[in-house]
Amino acid sequence: MVPLPLIERAQGIYLWDEHGNRYIDASSGPVVSNIGHGNERVAEAMARQARTMDFAYSRLARHRPNIKLSERIARLAGPGFERVSLTSGGSEAMEISIKFLRQHALATGQPRRRRIITCQPSYHGGTIAMLGLSGDETLHPFLDDFTISSEKVPAPFTYRVPDNHTPETYARHCAAALDEKITELGPENVLAFAVEPVGGLATGCMVLSDEYVRSVREICSRHGVFLVFDEILCGTGRTGRFLAAHHWPDALPDLVVMAKGLGSGYTPLGAVLMPAALVDELAQRTGFNFSHTYNANPISCATALAVLDEYDAGDLVRAAEARGKQIRDALLAQRGELSVLGDVRGLGLVMAVEMVAEQAARQPLPAAFEATERVRVHGLDNGLMLYSRRTAGGKYGDWFMLAPPLTISEAECEELVARLCATLKALAAEFRAGPW
């Protein structure tokens, strides 16, 4: 069992437990705390909003924090994402994005468009419907005949590809699989393809290749299928751009869904980014008929505005790129001494470390070793809080997230890497020593 420390205090990149032990928040919880902990200016903005106007229901009234935040996100997201719908978290934002597209299909006379395609593996949220969209074979006993699963196409992994493939040919194969799946289902029946441009724990931060993104954009456009980027984890600057989608400006998705870093842990918040043309068309025809009580909660909106001020003040999007490179380079430089270090992948400050039994052969660690749990124990022993859990039963590999707050300094990165190397050496020693 991995201990669950009782955390009593948090400041910057650090967390302290009840015994005074200090941990670096090396994954920002589950990739949430982008601006770091204990920010007084954000706390003050939250309190100010609570005193001024704590709540107004989005179906009955408009309010300025919502208008300001929506405009600010749209400005940062740029052309193609002029409209923003604010939710209470990631899963809810994914739900809203799909419901929006479905209602748009109905309003524009395409009632058969109801099938969704996603990748195997993938993660799109924890509601029953979003678990159905997520690609995790171990969920079958729970989900089968209980919710409607999406159609799955293979995720374009790059580190470990089938024997007859290179990463490039495999990406082409995976894009072709999407084309075939849409054709097989009948394009008139397909609503959307949803994909994480940079994955989280489901894929160990798999980054879509340029060619793959351009191909799936072309395929979706050709078939009239909406392309949705699930940037719940990787959006809000983590990758070194405000949106991960900005890495492929000539192949933008139709919708982007974001959450986590937008509230940075100070408040639960998510957002769906949409083009004005689609939203205005639906507004004219039927309007959008779905909502949740806390959509665009005023205190959450004020919090996110203060969070975005911190991004500006600290130039955090640019910092993500620089600090990510620093950590990756430092880790890879020590690869020779870290026998379990397989791959370090990701973009900017959203990375995963894949752990292996043997580097050259990229051989996974045995399932019985439970590397995703053990690495957390060694992390805690070495003053690191790491986010990992086994996904898809370890079928695709074992990894943990490496995604500290974007506010991490150069010196703190060095401390993180030193602690991580000690963690990985302890893990390797335990593996070699056996029995486990």
- CB atoms under 10 Å from CB of 351, counted, come to 26
**Which region, judged by CB under 6 A, interacts with ligand PLP, from 109-117, 174-182, 208-216, 230-238?**
230-238
Helices vs. strands in the chain: H and E counts, helices first: 13, 15
Quick check: 261 binds ligand PLP (CB under 6 A)?
Answer: no
Tokens read off for 370: 């439970």
List the interface residues with ligand PLP, window 283-322 (CB under 6 A).
none
Quick check: 379 binds ligand PLP (CB under 6 A)?
Answer: no
Geometric angle at alpha carbon 241, from 297 and 12, rounded to 5°: 65
How large is the greatest C-alpha to C-alpha distance in the chain, in angstroms? 67
When binding is defined by CB under 6 A, the residue of 12, 36, 80, 89 that contacts ligand PLP is 89
CB of 268 to ligand PLP, least distance (A): 7
Quick check: 135 binds ligand PLP (CB under 6 A)?
Answer: no
Quick check: 123 binds ligand PLP (CB under 6 A)?
Answer: yes
**Which region, judged by CB under 6 A, interacts with ligand PLP, from 67-75, 86-94, 183-191, 214-222?**
86-94
Q: Which is nearer to ligand PLP, 87 or 209 (CB)?
A: 87
181, 175, 265, 187: which is closest to 213 by C-alpha? 175
Half-sphere exposure of 158 (CA within 13 A, CB side): 16
Quick check: 58 binds ligand PLP (CB under 6 A)?
Answer: no
Quick check: 196 binds ligand PLP (CB under 6 A)?
Answer: yes
Rounded CA gap, 64 and 66, in Å? 5
Tokens read off for 177: 């699989």
Is 394:408 a contact under the CB 8 Å cutoff? no
**Which region, judged by CB under 6 A, interacts with ligand PLP, from 68-76, 121-129, 145-153, 327-335?**
121-129
Q: Which is nearer to ligand PLP, 248 or 431 (CB)?
A: 248
**Which region, judged by CB under 6 A, interacts with ligand PLP, from 40-48, 76-84, 85-93, 385-393?**
85-93
Quick check: 125 binds ligand PLP (CB under 6 A)?
Answer: yes
**Which region, judged by CB under 6 A, interacts with ligand PLP, from 65-73, 120-128, 135-143, 214-222?**
120-128
Torsional sign, CA 91, 17, 237, 215: negative
CB of 122 to ligand PLP, least distance (A): 8
Quick check: 392 binds ligand PLP (CB under 6 A)?
Answer: no
User: What is the b/e burial string over 215-233, where b = at least 16 CB atoms within 10 angstroms of the residue's CB?
Assistant: bbbebbeebebbbbbbbbb
Q: Which is nearer to ligand PLP, 191 or 194 (CB)?
A: 194
Residue 89 φ/ψ region, left for φ over 0, alpha for ψ in the -120 to 50 degree band, beta for the rest: left
Is 301:62 a contact under the CB 8 Å cutoff? no
When binding is defined by CB under 6 A, the residue of 91, 97, 118, 295 that contacts ligand PLP is 91
Which residues on neighbouring strands pair with residue 87, listed in sequence order? 270
Q: Binding-site residue total for ligand PLP (CB under 6 A)?
A: 15
C-alpha of 170 from chain center:
23
Torsional sign, CA 309, 315, 318, 321: negative
User: What is the b/e burial string over 149-168, where b = at least 16 CB atoms within 10 angstroms of the residue's CB?
Assistant: bbbbbebbbbbbbeeeeeee
When binding is defined by CB under 6 A, the residue of 121, 132, 135, 200 that contacts ligand PLP is 200
Quick check: 230 binds ligand PLP (CB under 6 A)?
Answer: yes
Q: Which is nearer to ligand PLP, 42 or 352 (CB)?
A: 352
CB of 430 to ligand PLP, least distance (A): 28
CB of 171 to ligand PLP, least distance (A): 20
When binding is defined by CB under 6 A, the residue of 98, 259, 274, 317 that contacts ligand PLP is 259
List the interface residues with ligand PLP, window 28-47 (CB under 6 A).
30
Q: Which stretch of DSSP H or E encloses residue 90?
A: helix 90-107
Q: Which is nearer to ligand PLP, 262 or 417 (CB)?
A: 262
Quick check: 266 binds ligand PLP (CB under 6 A)?
Answer: no
Tokens read off for 401: 């997230």
- CB atoms under 10 Å from CB of 30, counted, come to 16
Q: By the criterion CB under 6 A, which residues form the site for ligand PLP?
A: 30, 89-91, 94, 123-126, 196, 200, 230, 232-233, 259
